[in-house]
């Protein structure tokens, strides 16, 4: 973490920056902070600015341009925070934004408004402030018996110290009505050496703990990440993945098929494919929804069902995740439903009409 690349000149010493990339650092510099771990930097192509991993972590001038419909807080999370850093949107579960730091800042981050800021509300949060916030969140969870699932995310909670992680997990686990704890992280992909035997032994004490791993492209699935996933899976932590659909990075069937199939070999079940949220300066990353639907159509039936995640749009304005599916139901003929299979062949199913 201490050796991360944090500014334009360090970046220029390891990559041949294009004009669009160096322009991002001109003037007042990047609005959304830069951080790349040495490990992740080692995966970047110094000469190819179009390399998917490089595009997802190296800023360009495009991220300074705000397009129509882009919002600082597109998911309106702040409207659903009963206490700072705790989002209660769904009936039985909450999202705890445990930290504002990540080891690497993805340029398309849905929480670019708050992560890595380093100001009063940012990653320089002193320990006392952080613990005070956590206490308030824990009090809220304890007072709401309908909360049976606590999703700890951020920022990236695995950038916290072992002691902080243990404190938080033990306090959540002590609340009787919390059935499952989930951790959302990109650490196995960007800082796999953080998955130490000690960390794993802490997490497994608070089972059932599930983990969602943020992954973007098959080039991230190195042997180092494979070892990290092996440690986590061997500790009985069910692993899922979340991927943001990104133009020119992973928006094709071959790339995503390879990503999802390879995740299964690492015992990670693809969970969500997200339509990219309209954060400020994200137009160059966003695809059409039709592209996402065609990708799902290109996966479903063509490969293992486990390799097909749920494609969702997290609705701007705070509507939550809305699933999108290609329509395989192509019509109705009296008591028969007309269906299309993955090959485009037509079949019928005897589906009685519902009588009032």
Q: Which residues are catalytic?
A: 89-90, 93, 102, 106, 109, 111, 277, 314, 321
Cα–Cα distance for residue pair 98/154, rounded to 1 Å: 5
What sections of the chain are H helices per DSSP?
8-14, 19-23, 38-41, 52-57, 127-142, 162-173, 187-190, 197-203, 223-234, 253-265, 289-299
CA nearest to 122, candidates 194, 31, 242, 195: 31
# binding residues, ligand PLP (CB under 6 A): 7
In the complex, the smallest distance separating the C-beta of residue 198 from ligand PLP, rounded to whole angstroms, is 28
Please identify, using beta-carbon distances, which residue of 24 and 147 lies nearer to ligand PLP.
147
**Of the listed pieces 83-91, 253-261, 339-347, 348-356, which binds ligand PLP according to CB under 6 A?**
83-91
Q: Of 262-291, which residues contact ligand PLP (CB under 6 A)?
A: none
**Of the listed pieces 1-9, 86-94, 137-145, 223-231, which binds ligand PLP according to CB under 6 A?**
86-94
**Of the listed pieces 17-25, 82-90, 168-176, 192-200, which binds ligand PLP according to CB under 6 A?**
82-90
Please identify, using beta-carbon distances, which residue of 80 and 351 lies nearer to ligand PLP.
80
Chain Cα centroid distance, residue 113:
15
Chain Cα centroid distance, residue 257:
18
**8 A C-beta contact, residue 17 and residue 59:** no
In the complex, the smallest distance separating the C-beta of residue 156 from ligand PLP, rounded to whole angstroms, is 15
With a CB cutoff of 8 Å and minimum separation 6, the contacts of 2 are none
The DSSP 8-state label assigned to residue 206 in this structure reads G
* 94-113 footprint of ligand PLP as x/- string (CB under 6 A): -x------------------
* Chosen residue from 151, 199, 225, 279 binding ligand PLP by CB under 6 A: 151
In the complex, the smallest distance separating the C-beta of residue 80 from ligand PLP, rounded to whole angstroms, is 7
Please identify, using beta-carbon distances, which residue of 151 and 276 lies nearer to ligand PLP.
151
Chain Cα centroid distance, residue 151:
12
C-alpha torsion angle, residues 180, 186, 192, 198 (rounded to 10) = -30
**8 A C-beta contact, residue 22 and residue 8:** yes
* Chosen residue from 54, 55, 93, 117 binding ligand PLP by CB under 6 A: 93
Based on the shown chain and the rule CB under 6 A, indicate whether residue 54 belongs to the binding site for ligand PLP. no
For 333, the enclosing helix (H) or strand (E) is: strand 329-333
Q: Of 238-257, which residues contact ligand PLP (CB under 6 A)?
A: none
Based on the shown chain and the rule CB under 6 A, indicate whether residue 90 belongs to the binding site for ligand PLP. yes
Could you tell me the sign of the dihedral formed by the alpha carbons of 121, 124, 128, 130, in that order?
positive
CA nearest to 218, candidates 268, 280, 290, 184: 268
Whether cis (ω within 30° of 0) applies to the bond prior to 321 is no
In the complex, the smallest distance separating the C-beta of residue 185 from ligand PLP, rounded to whole angstroms, is 14
In the complex, the smallest distance separating the C-beta of residue 91 from ligand PLP, rounded to whole angstroms, is 10
Please identify, using beta-carbon distances, which residue of 31 and 79 lies nearer to ligand PLP.
79
**Of the listed pieces 33-41, 85-93, 168-176, 290-298, which binds ligand PLP according to CB under 6 A?**
85-93
Cα–Cα distance for residue pair 155/117, rounded to 1 Å: 11
Please identify, using beta-carbon distances, which residue of 180 and 338 lies nearer to ligand PLP.
180
Please identify, using beta-carbon distances, which residue of 5 and 137 lies nearer to ligand PLP.
137
Based on the shown chain and the rule CB under 6 A, indicate whether residue 321 belongs to the binding site for ligand PLP. yes
Please identify, using beta-carbon distances, which residue of 89 and 194 lies nearer to ligand PLP.
89
- The CA distances from residue 329 to 62, 113, 124, 336, 353, in Å, are 40, 40, 52, 11, 15
Query: What is the biggest distance separating any 2 CA atoms in the chain, rounded to whole angstroms?
Result: 71
* Chosen residue from 5, 87, 263, 295 binding ligand PLP by CB under 6 A: 87
The DSSP 8-state label assigned to residue 346 in this structure reads E
Based on the shown chain and the rule CB under 6 A, indicate whether residue 148 belongs to the binding site for ligand PLP. no
Residues that bind ligand PLP (CB under 6 A): 87, 89-90, 93, 95, 151, 321
């Amino acid at each position: 973490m201490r050796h991360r690349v944090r500014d334009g000149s360090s970046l220029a010493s390891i990559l041949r920056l294009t004009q669009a990339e160096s322009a991002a650092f001109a003037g007042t510099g990047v609005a959304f902070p830069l951080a790349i771990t040495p490990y992740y930097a080692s995966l970047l192509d110094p000469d190819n600015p179009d390399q998917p991993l490089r595009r997802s972590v190296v800023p360009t001038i495009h991220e300074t341009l705000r397009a129509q419909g882009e919002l600082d807080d597109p998911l309106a999370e702040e409207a659903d925070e009963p206490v700072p850093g705790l989002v209660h949107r769904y009936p039985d579960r909450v999202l705890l934004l445990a930290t504002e730091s990540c080891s690497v800042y993805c340029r398309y981050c849905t929480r670019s408004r708050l992560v890595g800021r380093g100001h009063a509300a940012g990653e320089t949060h002193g320990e006392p402030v952080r613990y005070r916030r956590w206490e308030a969140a824990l009090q809220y969870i304890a007072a709401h018996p309908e909360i049976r699932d606590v999703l700890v995310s951020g920022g990236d909670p695995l950038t916290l110290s072992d002691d902080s992680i243990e404190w938080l997990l033990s306090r959540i686990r002590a609340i009787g009505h919390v059935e499952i704890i989930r951790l959302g992280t990109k650490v196995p992909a960007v800082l796999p050496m953080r998955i130490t035997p000690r960390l794993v032994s802490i997490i497994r004490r608070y089972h059932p703990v599930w983990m969602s791993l943020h992954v973007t492209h098959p080039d991230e699935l190195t042997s180092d990440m494979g070892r990290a996933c092996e440690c986590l899976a061997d500790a009985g932590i069910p692993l899922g993945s979340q991927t943001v659909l990104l133009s020119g990075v992973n928006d094709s069937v071959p790339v995503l098929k390879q990503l999802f199939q390879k995740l299964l070999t690492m015992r990670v079940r693809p969970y969500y494919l997200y339509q990219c949220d309209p954060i400020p300066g994200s137009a160059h990353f966003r695809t059409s929804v039709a592209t996402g639907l065609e990708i799902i159509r290109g996966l479903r039936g063509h490969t293992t069902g486990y390799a097909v995640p749920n494609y969702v749009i997290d609705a701007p304005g705070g509507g939550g995740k809305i699933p999108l599916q290609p329509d395989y139901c192509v019509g109705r003929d009296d008591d028969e439903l007309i269906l299309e299979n993955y090959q485009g062949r037509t079949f019928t199913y005897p589906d009685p009409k519902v009588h009032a």
